Amino acid sequence: MTTPATSNQMLSINLSGDFDALAVEELRSEFDSLTEQQQDVIIDMQDVTFIDSSGIGAIVFLFKRLRSQDLNLSITGVHGQPLELMRYLRIDKCISLFEQQDQA
C-alpha cells in the first residue's frame, strides 16, 4: 500500500500485488487508521492481481467502519480475478466498483 493521498474530503490509497492474508496482516494498522481520518476512501486496485477471502474481509471491515461514520468507500481499477470475486460475492451491490479501463 502506498501512502494515502488526500484530496478535498477523499483519501486515496493504492494497493498492489496480491491482497491476501499476508498483505492484510501487514496493512491492518493502516486500514484501522483510515477510519480515523474522517474522510471518504478510494482504493485503487489496478495493480492488484489476486484477492482472497482475507482481502475481501478487510475491504468489508473498512466499508462497515466508514459507513458507521456516514463515509463512503469506492474501489477503482479493479479487474481480473478480484473483479470476478467481488461480483460473485455481490460486493458491487454495496460498494462502488469502477473497473480498470483497457488501454489502447
DSSP 52: -
- The domain total for the chain is 1
Give bridge partners of residue 26 from the DSSP assignment. none
Phi, psi of 89 (to 5 degrees): -85, 0
Q: What is the pLDDT of residues 52-67, one digit of tens each?
A: 999 999 999 999 999 9
Q: Give the tens place of pLDDT for each residue, 69-101.
A: 999 999 999 999 999 999 999 999 999 999 876
Position 50 in a domain: yes
> Is 41 inside any structural domain?
yes
Task: Estimate to the nearest angstrom the gap between the alpha carbon of 19 and the chain centroid.
Answer: 10
CATH number of residue 24's parent domain: 3.30.750.24
Alpha-carbon distance of 3 to 96, in angstroms, equals 22
In a domain, 46, yes or no: yes
Domain that holds residue 40: 5-99
Q: How many beta carbons lie within 10 A of that of residue 38, not counting itself?
A: 11
With respect to residue 104, please indicate whether it lies within any of the assigned structural domains: no
pLDDT above 50: residue 9: yes
17 falls within a domain: yes
Grid cell for residue 76: 477503482
